[in-house]
């Protein structure tokens, strides 16, 4: 990735978000708080689902993987961002930069497809409830997340291999707070048109295929819900997918705004705000969205706490 015959700059410098030392200090404290909530929220979600047998269903199995992906790509970005906010040098090696970019693409691409599988799961649960145990079998539930990871690794590998062949012989200052492909391409003194097309095809097909699956699933879900006669039945059916729909809306709106827009509408400030949102804020929001709006998760927390209290009381008796 950092071949000497393709570069003449010692590494990259991440300019970050703000020049003001006071604002950087405030941002660092805010990001530390957000990251702690992200780790506790997503880690807690994984532990709760693992400990409570009543949550061992396809929906919560997918939710475990979503928490893992959120925690992973946030951890690929946030610690280095915090280091640069508190460090005057703000440098990152070629290997470190491409590794960060590689991991980010892997986890985000995998999350796009995982969100689509979660929508398909809700489609089967609402539109084909009698066949749900057969369709959402254990084999399929394991195959779908595995396929998401494979797609993420393939997409990231293809993009990283082509980008590693570029020459960087002028500026090494990345106008961003992490190693996103677009600002890295802007630094290259090579012809980047081929790489840009490949990245656009990979990212565009990823977003479009996953959005198509999600849209198709929710059109069918909405059609089924409208056919339900009772208001209580409609409310119950909608509540099973409300959290996922909210999470999908937040995630995809920022992704589409950032990556699927013409270059003429590019704005560094707006792109950085959007990037902060989907790399740092969304991983914190997802466990809150799926837990605070989910009665089963709340009940699971109560059951786990009661078991812990009961086990401690039996020890002292």
Q: Average of pLDDT values for 67-78?
A: 93
Asked if residue 2 belongs to a domain, the reply is no
Asked if residue 209 belongs to a domain, the reply is yes
Q: Structural domain tally of the chain?
A: 1
Domain residues for the domain of 222 are: 7-316
Question: pLDDT digit string (tens) for 6-43?
Answer: 455 667 888 877 767 778 888 889 999 999 999 999 99
Contact in structure between 119 and 214 (CB atoms under 8 Å) = yes
* pLDDT of the residue at 86: 82
* pLDDT of the residue at 43: 93
C-alpha closest to that of 181 among 233, 79, 250, 104: 104
Least confident of 111-125, 258-272, 300-314: 258-272
Asked if residue 1 belongs to a domain, the reply is no
Asked if residue 23 belongs to a domain, the reply is yes
- CATH number for the domain spanning 69: value is 1.20.1070.10
Q: Average of pLDDT values for 103-108?
A: 93
Higher pLDDT, 232 or 81: 81
* pLDDT of the residue at 3: 44
C-alpha closest to that of 212 among 132, 126, 112: 112
Q: What is the CA radius of gyration of the chain?
A: 22
Higher pLDDT, 120 or 316: 120
pLDDT at 95 over 90: no
Helix/strand number for the chain, H first, E second: 11, 3
Question: pLDDT digit string (tens) for 119-175?
Answer: 999 999 999 989 999 999 999 999 999 999 999 999 999 988 888 888 877 678 888
pLDDT at 61 over 90: yes
């Amino acid at each position: 990735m950092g071949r000497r015959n393709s570069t003449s700059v010692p590494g990259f410098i991440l300019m970050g978000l703000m020049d003001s030392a006071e604002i950087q200090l405030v941002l660092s404290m805010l990001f530390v708080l957000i990251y702690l909530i992200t780790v506790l929220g997503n880690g807690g979600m994984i532990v709760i689902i693992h400990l409570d047998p009543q949550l061992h269903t396809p929906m919560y199995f997918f939710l475990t993987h979503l928490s893992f992906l959120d925690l992973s790509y946030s951890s690929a970005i946030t610690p280095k961002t915090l280091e640069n906010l508190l460090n005057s040098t703000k440098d990152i090696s070629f290997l470190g930069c491409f590794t960060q970019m590689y991991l980010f693409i892997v986890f985000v691409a995998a999350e796009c497809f995982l969100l689509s599988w979660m929508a398909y799961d809700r489609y089967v649960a609402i539109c084909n409830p009698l066949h749900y145990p057969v369709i959402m079998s254990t084999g399929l539930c394991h195959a779908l997340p595995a396929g998401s990871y494979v797609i993420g690794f393939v997409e990231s590998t293809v993009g990283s291999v082509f980008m590693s062949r570029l020459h960087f012989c002028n500026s090494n200052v990345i106008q961003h707070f992490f190693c996103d492909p677009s600002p890295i391409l802007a630094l290259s003194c090579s012809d980047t048109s081929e790489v840009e097309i490949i990245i656009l095809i990979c990212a565009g097909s990823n977003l479009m295929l996953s959005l198509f699956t999600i849209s198709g699933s929710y059109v069918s879900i909405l059609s089924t819900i409208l056919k339900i006669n009772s208001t209580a039945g409609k409310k119950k059916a909608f509540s099973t997918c409300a959290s996922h729909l909210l999470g999908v809306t937040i995630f995809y709106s920022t992704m589409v705004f950032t990556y699927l827009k013409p270059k003429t509408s590019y704005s560094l400030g707006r792109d950085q705000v959007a990037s902060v949102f989907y790399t740092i804020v969304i991983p914190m929001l997802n466990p809150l969205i799926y837990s605070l709006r989910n009665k089963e998760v709340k009940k699971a927390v109560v059951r786990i706490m009661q078991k812990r209290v009961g086990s401690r009381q039996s020890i002292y008796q």
